[in-house]
Amino acid sequence: MTLASPPQAVVFDNDGLLLDTETAWTRAEEALFATHGGTFTMEHKRDLIGSSHTVAAGKLEVMLDRPGEGLALMAELHERVMAEATHDVAPRPGAVALVDALLDAGIPVAVASNSPRAFLDLVLQTAGVAARFAVTVAGDEVAHPKPAPDIYLEACRLLGADPTASVGLEDSPTGAQAAKAAGLTVIGVPYLPDMEIPPADLIAASLADDAVLAAVGLVPSRG
């Protein structure tokens, strides 16, 4: 799968796609659950990946059996993950090389994240990649977060790019639905290897995959 010409822009999801922030989230989630008498499991993780603030709040209410306390639980989780995000946040395999190759080729890049601005800025700084992105859009800066298309539409608008001539990179079904709804060609790179990403036009094992490079116009397609 490849576009007819190099894309006008490439937009990266952040958590679990550009950066391995999921380890920080997991540490915070485990602590939150322990505080409230629960045990955080991989099934919880799978359900929460890609969720917006409001959706995650509703899920936490059910998971911890604390009806009506979702927003308070999310506030506590946010405080915990902000502390965790000051260390041990690294780019995902192939991420920096891919971003640099796109920039060298003159292809604009952006980050489109469901996470709030404060967290997004912090982890980009912690991982040492903030300077590479002139455009970033956070989940608390649009009317409707993923799976709505707003974040991707705003990222493309800020880059001056046509969404239908651009590529979105995502690790979750929620994010892929957002990119697809915005009209982008979607490349899925699952954070959890067995996670299905139905809306994606292409599934790759990592950002270093040759198929990803071909899809974003960096190497000739063999297909």
Please report which confidence band the pLDDT of residue 95 belongs to, taking 50, 70 and 90 as the band edges: very high
Which phi and psi angles does 145 have, rounded to 5°? -75, 180
Q: What is the pLDDT of residues 9-66, one digit of tens each?
A: 999 999 999 999 989 999 999 999 999 999 999 999 999 998 888 999 999 999 999 9
Q: Which one is catalytic: 15, 150, 171, 209?
A: 15
Calpha distance 127→4 (Å, rounded): 33
Calpha distance 182→168 (Å, rounded): 10
| pLDDT at residue 199 greater than cutoff 70 | yes
- pLDDT at position 193 is 87
- pLDDT at position 223 is 45
Mean pLDDT of 123-141: 97
So where are the chain's domains? 10-21+89-215, 22-84
- pLDDT at position 78 is 94
- 148 contacts 138 by C-beta, under 8 angstroms: no
Q: Is 64 helix (H, G, I), strand (E, B) or coil?
A: coil
Active site residue 15: yes
Mean pLDDT of the chain: 94
Quote the percentage of the chain above a pLDDT of 90: 91
* Alpha-carbon dihedral sign for residues 210, 216, 218, 219: positive
Q: What is the pLDDT of residues 160-193, one digit of tens each?
A: 999 999 999 999 999 999 999 999 999 999 998 8
| pLDDT at residue 114 greater than cutoff 90 | yes
Pure H helices in the chain: 22-35, 42-48, 53-63, 70-84, 95-104, 117-126, 150-159, 173-182, 210-215
- pLDDT at position 181 is 98
Active site residue 47: no
| pLDDT at residue 2 greater than cutoff 60 | no
Mean pLDDT of 66-72: 96
CATH class of 10-21+89-215: alpha beta
Q: Which helix (H) or strand (E) holds 186?
A: strand 185-188
Which of 83, 91, 92, 90 lies closest to 28, judged by CA? 83
Looking at the whole model, is its pTM more than 0.85? yes
Mean pLDDT of 78-91: 95
Q: Which one is catalytic: 13, 20, 201, 209?
A: 13
Name 204's bridge partners: none
